Structure 1
Amino acid sequence: MKTLKFRWGLTGKPSKRSLFIKLFLGFLTIIALLSSFNLIAFTVTTTHTREEIVKYNRLLLGNTVRLYEEQFNRTKSLLFNLYYDPKITALQLSLSMDQMNRQNYLNINQISNQIKSSVSNPALFFDNIIIHFKSGYIVDKSGSFDAVSMFTKELTSDNYSLAFWEQQFNERYEYKIMANDSFRLAPDQYQKELIPVLLNISPRRYQIIAMLDARLMSMMFHDMPGTELAILDRDGHVLFQTSDRLAVDRLAISRETPKQFELDDLYYFLETGQETGFTYITTFPIASINAQMQKLTYTFWLLLAVSVVIGLVVSHIFTRRLHRPVKQLVSSIMGDKPLALGSKINEFDLINEQIQHLLHEKQEILHDLVNQKSLLTHYGYIQRLKRIKTNLGDFKEMGAHTTFRLILYQLKYRSQPMPEPAQKPQQMAYAIKEYISLELSGQYPGSNTFQVESNQILSIIFDHEDSRQLEITLNRLKRVLDRDTKYCLVTIAASSVCHRSSQFGTAYEEVQERILCGKLVEETQILLDQHPSAGSQHSAFIADKENDFYMNLQAGNESICLDLMERMLHHLDTRQESALRFRQFSEGVVAKILAIAESAKINRLEQSELHSLMVHLDDCLTVEQLQQFFRQFISAAAGIIRAKKNEANDIASYVIDYLEQHYEQDTSLEQVASQLGMTANYLSTLMKDKTGQTFTDHLHDIRLRHAKQMLSSTNLSVQEIGEKVGYRNVTSFIRLFKKMTSQTPGDFRKSSKMNS
């Protein structure tokens, strides 16, 4: 038990082969596989994450370039439209002629409102639009100023002074986007980074300056924390940058510069605007990418560790929940004790219920086996007998018993109803077996009696060599069994004394042969040393009498057959033949009589009559009873055969009379057989057997006899005579007539007249 418990992991540490370890290892394997899959997936993900970050920054740069280019295009379009506005042209003309009037001031007000409308549009990112006339007059969103006040008080810058703007009238370009600068705005000198955009078209009498809000555009077009933006013009000069740390002036940007590269722990991304030709540069710190990757790695390992820990805990809990009821079930099976499982799994409850049911059945079976040990012993002996019949050789030793004898009881049940309580042969056999067992167990301790067949009982007695004592015991059994001979006859056969268990088969074969030596007597027989006679044959007829018996039976001679049968039975009785020999002889004769009767074409009712008589053969237990049986059976069979024979003679006479009356008609064998209700073959055979001629021979004889009479006594032609006797074809009639009489009809008529 300890070994089994250790193997199953029921006590102490779980065995490597226990269900708990197997389940837990299975869960660990699943966790390891899932963790490996996640690790591989994470490795692949981190490999592509850096590429995705780079790709994402390039997409952001492309979007930034698109927005800036669109803004610069809108600004250029608006400035050109404003430049050619008639009100501005008229104002410039009035200023050049120094003829300002009321209409000019109205135009100034309208221009200022128009500028104010554009500046107030948040989608244009204008801080101000300044119309600077060469005469020094300025119009912006607030109204009109002189150039000195505007560029020295209202809008001042270190790089964009009044002199700078006046110098631009002498420059050759017409449109230019300039570098951003920090401008101080009146009245509180608030500083703001602006990008000046200048439109100065020849003949350059006035110029329009648009001030774009650099920081606001940067926030709207490039709002990505951790990155910086720089814009370079076609000559590589910086127009705008979000931080001085970029130091783009030392990058030496050219057409050969790659679109992205790493420098000084920064990732640089470059793209050129399609309209302006400006170079847009964004930077992304490599340390930021590494920090994000490191954060992602830490997060992954933390989640993986938490998942593995949770998986281990859940696996352990789930394994214990599965293992505990299995452990209890195994303990219940090994201890043969029912246990309360207490599982929350329906399948385990069902298994436990079935195990309890099986354990209960096991206890009942063990109890029955203990109480019915003798039945098992009987079964063991029967198994030995079956093995003997299959020639399996010697058996194992039968315990301590070495000297034994076998006694076989052959039961012959009679058809008479049995008394209470043994109303059936099985019940009577059981009662006889119990009585024999009780009688022998008192005289021969350790003996066994059991039923081997429905009509055979076998006893084994041990340590017995006193044949006289056995004979006394069997005679005592005989006196009791003879009381029920009207219900059952018993034949008892005993084997020789055997001294080895290997002789068990020989002893059983001996009693089987000896039981066949029983005689036809109406009492219990005891056979101790009889042996069956060798060379016996089934037929017991005296020489040359068997054929006489069957020939007379075919002729229906009842008295002769009965006399021969009496002599045959007396002959067997004189030779003291066994009941088996009488049985074999009787069955052979009955089978032959039935065959002869069937050959006489008896009907089913007559066959049933013979078969009903044949059943009584089993009740014949004496020679006198056999004689009485054969008197009835042979008389019935001979009477039926004789009646069939007479019936056949009547049929033959009827057919001949019918042909005499209908010979001139087209008569056939099939037609007559149909009228008699039989087949043509049977009628043909019957006519041949009873008359020696076939149906056709009889018909031709009758027709030719009448034809001869007509040829001798009438003057009818041969054809007419042939038709009158049934031959429609005169050629066939002449041919048949010549064949039967060796003369033609004409020759017969001539010879007949000459003789008369």
Structure 2
Amino acid sequence: MLMEGDGVNSKAVFWRNPIFYKYLLSYLFVLIIPLLLIALFLNQYFIQILQEVAVQNNEHSLQSVQQTLDDKLREMNGIAVEISSNPNLLPHRITSDMYDAMTAKEELNYTLTNGFLEDVLLYIKGSSYLYSSTSTYSKKMFINQIVPYENWTLENFVSNLEQLRMPAIRPAEKIKNTSSSHASLHGERILTYMIPIPVNSPKPYGVVLFLIKDATIQQLLHGAVQDSEGSVMLVNSERQLLTAYNANEEWAVQAFQALQRNGDSAGSSIMRINGQRYVVATVQSGQTGWEYVTTTPYMAVMSKAIQAQKQSLIVISLVLVLGLFIIYISMRYNYAPIVKLFAFARGRLGTVLTSIQQITDGIEVISEDREKLSQKLESSRTAIQQHLLLSLLQGRGGTSESLIEQGREVGLMLEGPVYYVMLIHVHRLNNMPIAKRQAAVESIEQIMNAFLTAYKADLSDKDGFVYIGVTDSSRAEIEDRLMQLIAPIAKVADGEVALAMGNLYEDMNDIGKSYIEATTAINYRLIKGLNQLIPFHALGLEQSGAHWYPKYAIEQLEAYVLRGDLTGIKRIVTDVLNQMNEQHVNLYIARCICYDMINTVIKALFLKDGRLIVPDSPDVLQLTKFETMQEFAQLMEELCSYAARQADDSEQKADQQVTSWMAYIQTHFQSAEFSVPSMAAHFELSVSHIQRIFKERTGCTITEQLNEVRIQQAKKLLVESDMPIKDIVCEVGYYDVSSFIRKFKQSTFLTPGEYRKHHAGRE
């Protein structure tokens, strides 16, 4: 037992130990380095992003103003088109009759629906008047009294209108004292937009003038300013200042000089004007060629970014203080167990330790000894577990109490009250690569442990697993859990599975019965299929369809194979398999029907071609190795596909044979010894086979074809030569002249002599 003084002394030694300071410095390093990196990141990258966002927002606002003003100009162009197409506003109407000129006011009343425009006027070139929605003015009256421009004289006004060929805008100009009808323009600055009509005409006959208050334009430009110190300038394609918000002409000149120094590039950039940094954004209209320029003090744009930078530094400082506090608490409390460990080691070993490694070495020795002992115990425990489980499956147990006690000693919790055996069959598990199979087995065991209380018995089943289940649930609940196991097991096994379950028993000595029942049920996967649970109690072993047999369907199958009808074959196989499941046939009858169908297909192949080419045919032994009806259907489909290929090959071969037979007849017809048996012997075929194929392919017999060839040759000799008929008979392969004459007359309805005379007369 340690004394209090010893504990205090050990604690004092520990605080003087370099280990304490090593870990303290490591904590400080882990805290400070990330904070420094974060601070640098915020100061460089994050602030740069905020700057780019602010500049882009400034540019987007300017683009919005440009698009709005372009829309207004398009509206004015549309009004000009309407005026030029209005028959009531044609030159000969409004200049020839003062009444029509007065009615033109109603046609020009566009300002009522367009608050952007102050007034719309129409001028016909060569005339003396301007027409508006309010009145008709002479040119002198308009320029001197109605809208007296500060710098636009009557002579320039008339000259500009008469010579106008393209749309033009006059910069904002102050209006002097006006008449009462336009008193609202007194002291205002006005922009005048002029469009010759007809629009785009090389010889316009008039001009439409749109009067726009500069205040209206500046109200639009104000939307592009992000700060009270910012300014917006609008210039035409010749960079003549049309109007500006919060800027004068001198400032515009300085701004454009700065733009020229930076290459007149569109977009946003930071430049110096009068020694100060400004964010300058430039947007050019593709419609008019006008430029929109904003200048905003750099510090005004970056005010939010600078504020965010200050806030981030405050947050980092707070995090640093909080981190230091947490380090202090951690060093004070979390290292207390190490202090006790040093004190314990000093008391046990009788020496002061300055390194944890000395304590670690002793702990490692104890741990290694403990691990070796655990491994020995675990290896023997597994063997005992398997021995006990196999004894239960074989029915060689004892009393339930002794079995439960034996299981508890080796980690098997066999306290019932109900027991059952479950089999898991993984399709083609043994065909998997070793590594993949081992991984699948481990995954299945993990799934089983997660879902059920069941213990695996290591038997010699290559494609399956045997589990003894212990439960207090009902049969329906167990079956529901087992159904939930199918999908995850199939996924980890990367294949199809089948689960079978024996009946539930309360006595542990009946586990062997449940095992036999589960084994019987798993074999019924042939009929029931994979990816489902097959409980023994649901098999219905009374077999209501024990005397059912699909005789007619198998006869149809043979007919479809002979015809090479793959669709019909697949339909017959599917129908038979479905009926087998509906009739509840037993395993023996089911396999007999399957073997009979295989035999029917193979027999049909022999009947069709007289032989079966073994090297190209499917593995006949493989046809008997099926575990489910789905596998059987797939094997049948492969076999029937082979039959179809055989049929195609036979067709091609028959065509080739007939061609060679015809050539043989053409070569040997002159021989009186020619016969079908000799021809069959030449080609190493049976007489019946060669006669059947020849008849099917040509529509006539070999003898008929031979006679036809001989008759055609005789016709040729009768016409082209003077040979006696007797010699011609011998030349074409006949012995008997009378027989030849009879066959010749049957073919041509003439005797050989008559045939020669008939064709000689034609010549």
> Smaller-chain TM-score range?
0.3 to 0.5
**Which is bigger in relative contact order (C-alpha 8 A, separation at least 6)?**
2
Give TM-score, length-normalised by structure 1.
0.35
Larger radius of gyration: 1
